[in-house]
Amino acid sequence: MTTKLVAIAVAVLSMTGMAAAKPLKVVGPWEIAGIDPAQSGFVFSRMQVAETLVSVDADGKLTAGLATSWSAAEDGLTWRFRLREAARFHDGSAVTAAIVADTLRKVQGGAGALSQVPVAGIEPDGEDVVIRLSKPFAALPAYLVNYTTIILAPSSIGASGKVERIVGSGPYRVKSLTPPLNMQLEAAAEWAGAKPGIAEVDYQAVGQGETRALMAESGEADLVFSMLPVSVERLKRNPNLDVRIATIPRTRLLKVNAASPLFSDVRVRRAISATLDREGTTRVILRNADLAATQLFPKALAGWHDPELPPLKRDLAAAKALLAEAGWTPGADGVLHKDGKPFSFTLLTYASWPELPPIATAIQAQLKQVGIDAKVSVGNASEIPARHKDGTLEMGLVSRLYSIVPDAIGTLRDDYKSGGSDWGATGWSNDELNALVETMAQTSDPAARAPMQRRAIAILQSELPSIPVTWSELAVVANKRVTGLRIDPLEVNYGLAAIRWAQ
């Protein structure tokens, strides 16, 4: 009796799985916490539901988005963005310059990347959106790639003035949205460009990395983003799967409070850097020794990586010598002491990225070898900014993204300004770097920027306001059922519309 029931149940269940028109099943770690673009705009941008004015290709070159072209006036203060003519929202209405200008004005007043641009005014002018600046700022178009600036139709906004539904202008429209874990998309009739290769997309957020790997392995998902390093090797051996890896502009670094008595001496910061076993850490935890961060920016970040720069590397003898020079001598318990105080502090990190706590424990074990006593504390992501603000931060292990604005100048300008920032320097400032960064922000000629970029990197490398530990990569797994996948290291647009079923 029971067995019969179970058999019937299994049969019915397996039949419901075979629907007629199969959607592309995409699995990723990001939850849709709230639908406001400032919160989840990146999901809608990546999944091609909504567009920004400017987009970017895999090499970091700016390309057309909702704006087909843009130009700055002679003085560098007035920028004109020409909108795509046939652009329509998913409710059928046209994308007008007035709507775009309204949206951007609102975003500029928020806390997103655009608020850091010296904007004087944003106005529609016929087909164009005109942005006036209070001082020249060559990096403006790059800021308009940021997901908080996606353009939504006025019908997205409810009576309360908040975004209540997503009506974008991309190749896919939202069919159903069940925050925080589910979203279904279908090809939008209003899209004038090439029709998406697969008409329906089903996005499922799965927080557990291992579960994502299992979904790829079992063939349940067609496309899985962000695999744990340990799963990658196993998945590569699977004949049905295609594993793609891209280096992304994200660096895990030690955010050091240079104003604290422990770390104010640059020799101590250099000693800590020389203590780190970056190669061992990356080999064991990230399963790729090439990710050892020998300088702040990875090779993939064009113009910001200097192969000539002497690399940061492990040298325990040098580290010990530097510490002795700085006045630290081993105490009876093996821990270094200076003026009767032990070299002991809290290394704060957070679990938003699963690899941070293990890297922190590895660093703790490595620092112990030279007599530095670090206690690891894993908290919430907000604790590091909070303790940066009140000055009680000693050392934090953070994961810093340099493509919030595809031009790293955006992040650099914020992170190393005097006073530092949430994820940048603490208690450290350098006038030469500040001047360089401001000049670069106003310079658009790559040739003129190159020497300034090299100098900026060199300053950060010798002063070490943040101590780079590892670079990062993004692993995407596609089932061989699908073809046409393109990896976007800047994670702006996953190009789902170009994916097709393999024949």
Partner 1 sequence: MSTADATLVPITQRSWLTPSRMAGLALLGLLALFALSGPLLVSVDPSEQDFAASLAPPGSDYLLGADHYGRSMLARLAYGARLSFGMALLTVATAAVPGILLGLLAAWRGGWLERVLDLVSTVLLALPGLLLVLILLAFAPGTFGPLYLGLALTLWIEFYRVTWVTAGGVLKQPHVEATRLLGFGTSYILRSLVLPEIRPILITLSAFAMSTAIIAISTLSAISVGLRPPTPELGAMIVELLPYYAEAPLHVLMPGILIFLLVLGLQLATRSDAR
Partner 2 sequence: MGSLPSAGRNRMKRLVLARLLQAGLVMLVVGILCFVLVRALPGDPAMRIAAGRYGPDANITEAAEQVRRELGLDQPLLVQLGASLGQLARLDLGHSVVTGLPITKELRIQLGATLWLSGSALALSLLLGPPIGLLAGLRRGGWVDNASLGGAIVLRSLPPFVLGLLLILVFAMLLGLFPPAGYGTWRDLALPALTLALGLAAVSSRVARDAVAAVARTPYLAFARLKGLPEAVVVRRHVLRNAAIPVISYLALQAIYLIEGVVVVETLFGIPGIGHALVHAVIARDVPMVQGTALAMGLLFVVIAMAVDLACHWLDPRPKRT
Give yes or no for residue 219 binding partner 1 (CB under 8 A). no
| Residues of this chain, 391-410, that bind partner 1 according to CB under 8 A | none
Binding residues for partner 2, rule: CB under 8 A, are 2, 5, 10, 12-14, 16-17, 33-36, 38-39, 110-111, 115, 162, 178-182, 204-208, 211-212, 214-215, 217-220, 350, 352-353, 380-383, 385-386, 388-389, 399, 401, 404, 414, 421-423
Q: Is 234 in the site for partner 1 (CB under 8 A)?
A: yes
263-292 residues in contact with partner 1 (CB under 8 A) are 277, 280-281, 283-284
Q: Which of partner 2, partner 1, none sits in contact with 264, Cβ below 5 to 8 A by type?
A: none
CA 92 – CA 127 distance, rounded (Å): 18
Which residue, 381 or 498, is less far from partner 2 as judged by CB?
381
- If the CB atoms of residues 284 and 316 are measured against partner 1, the closer one turns out to be 284
Q: Which does 422 bind (CB under 5 to 8 A by kind): partner 1, partner 2, none?
A: partner 2
Q: Cβ 356 to partner 1, closest distance in Å?
A: 11
Does 330 help bind partner 1 (rule: CB under 8 A)? Answer: no
How far are the Cα atoms of 58, 312, 323, 328 from residue 268, in angstroms, in the given order?
Answer: 38, 14, 6, 9
Write down the H helix ranges in 330-441: 356-368, 383-389, 409-415, 431-441
Using the rule CB under 8 A, which residue among 321, 378, 452, 487 binds partner 1?
378
- Residue from 170, 209, 410, 489 touching partner 1 (CB under 8 A): that is 209
Of 207 and 327, which CB lies nearer to partner 2 in the complex structure? 207
Q: Classify 22 as helix, strand or coil.
A: coil
Q: Which of the listed partners (partner 1, partner 2, none) does 20 bind, with a CB threshold of 5 to 8 Å by partner kind? A: none
Of 286, 204, 298, the C-alpha closest to 250 is 298
Smallest gap from Cβ 1 to partner 2, in A, equals 8
User: Distance between CA atoms of 461 and 456, rounded to whole angstroms?
Assistant: 9
Instruction: Say which entry of partner 2, partner 1, none residue 220 contacts (CB below 5 to 8 A, set by partner kind).
Output: partner 2
Cβ proximity to partner 1, 88 vs 283, nearer residue: 283
CB of 115 to partner 1, least distance (A): 31
* By CB under 8 A, residue 181 contacts partner 1: no
CA-CA-CA-CA torsion sign (168, 169, 170, 176): positive
Out of 210, 290, 325, 333, name the contact with partner 1 by CB under 8 A. Answer: 210
Alpha-carbon distance 415 to 408, whole Å? 11
Select the binding partner of residue 209 from partner 2, partner 1, none (C-beta < 5 to 8 A, by kind): partner 1
Q: Residue 457 and residue 305: Cα distance in Å, rounded?
A: 8
Closest CA to 295 of 456, 457, 422: 457
Cβ neighbours of residue 142 closer than 8 Å, sequence gap 6 or more: 54, 56, 62, 405, 406, 407, 409, 410
Cβ distance to partner 1 smaller for residue 238 or 294? 238
Is 213 among the residues that bind partner 1 (CB under 8 A)? yes
Q: Is 333 in the site for partner 1 (CB under 8 A)?
A: no
Those residues whose C-beta lies under 8 Å from the C-beta of residue 172, and which sit 6 or more positions away, are 47, 48, 49, 185, 186, 187, 188, 196, 201, 496, 497
Q: Torsion angle, CA of 303/309/312/314, rounded to 10 degrees?
A: 140
How buried is 486 (Cβ within 10 angstroms: 0-12 exposed, 13-18 middle, 19+ buried)?
Answer: middle
Cβ contacts of residue 119 below 8 Å, gap of 6+?
108, 131, 132, 133, 134
Q: Which of 168, 140, 11 is nearest to 70 (CA)?
A: 140
The residue (of 218 and 503) whose beta carbon lies closer to partner 2 is 218
What are the start-end ranges of the H helices in 112-244? 140-143, 209-217, 229-236
Minimum CB–partner distance for residue 303 and partner 1 (Å): 34
Residue 287, judged by CB atoms within 10 A of its CB (0-12, 13-18, 19+), counts as middle
**Shortest distance, CB of residue 241 to partner 1, whole angstroms?**
14
Compute the distance between CA of residue 485 and CA of residue 245 in angstroms, rounded to an integer.
12
The phi, psi pair for 329, rounded to 5°, reads -125, 145
Near partner 1 in 344-363, by CB under 8 A = 351, 357-358, 361-362
Nearer to partner 1, 4 or 237 (CB): 237
Binding site for partner 1 (CB under 8 A): 209-210, 213, 228, 230-231, 234, 277, 280-281, 283-284, 351, 357-358, 361-362, 364-365, 376-380
